[in-house]
Amino acid sequence: MSTLVDYSIISREQFNRITNIADQEQLHPDYVTGIREIFRAHNVVHQLGLQLLHSHYELPPGSIALTVKLDADLLVTKITPRLAVSEDNLHGQLYFLNKEHRFQAYEYEYGQPVNLPTPFLQDLAKFIIENGIEKQVAIATSSPEAPNTEITLGSNATATLFGKKAVAKAKELGGPTMIGWKF
């Protein structure tokens, strides 16, 4: 386990400081290219993806954002009370670089955790800090395909669409922000 990862469950206050998708700037293509090169150099392109760091809702007390895979092209993330979650088999699904320069999970899923290699995290953290994009970049551990886009489901959930479904839905809706890349 890497010391560059904060394995604790994110606090409500820390989660609620993540920029809302309506206010988040799109990640500049030069940053995507630079990050892609880091992913390739560390050979993590098949295990990890890049995510635009954002939120869709305020997290209420005693809750987490829990992601469930409904099929190969669809994930649903919703606010879930921690009391309703078994934390034994829970791990981070999305990670951002926090103020302590450690990667903090902010959305969770069930299953086996993905290895986040320390040299990769060191290089990625350095790139993020040097470019001042701490509030824009996250690591995705469960994105099956990219591109992907999200649709808000009410006030407490989102659906993530991957691949051809994402591109078609983006065109249908007039171009929502693409939020994920797989290299």
Over residues 58-107, the pLDDT tens digits come to 999 999 999 888 777 777 889 999 999 988 889 999 999 999 999 999 99
For residue 45, give the 3-state DSSP assignment.
Answer: coil
Tokens 């320390």 identify what position? 118
Given pLDDT bands bounded at 50, 70 and 90, which one contains residue 166? Answer: low
Between 115 and 158, residue with greater pLDDT: 115
Between 49 and 35, residue with greater pLDDT: 35
Given pLDDT bands bounded at 50, 70 and 90, which one contains residue 46? Answer: confident
pTM, full prediction:
0.85
Residue 95's pLDDT is 97
Q: Are strands 137-140 and 90-97 parallel, antiparallel or unpaired?
A: antiparallel
Please state which of the ranges 28-32, 118-122, 151-155 shows the lowest mean pLDDT: 151-155
Whether the per-residue pLDDT at 176 is higher than 60: the answer is no
Please enumerate in sequence order all residues whose Cβ is within 8 A of that of 6, keeping only pairs 6 or more positions apart, or say none: 98, 100, 102, 103, 104, 105
Residue 113's pLDDT is 85
Average pLDDT, the chain: 85
The domain spans of the chain are 5-181
DSSP 20: B
Residue 37's pLDDT is 97
DSSP 35: H
Between 112 and 126, residue with greater pLDDT: 126
Between 18 and 76, residue with greater pLDDT: 18
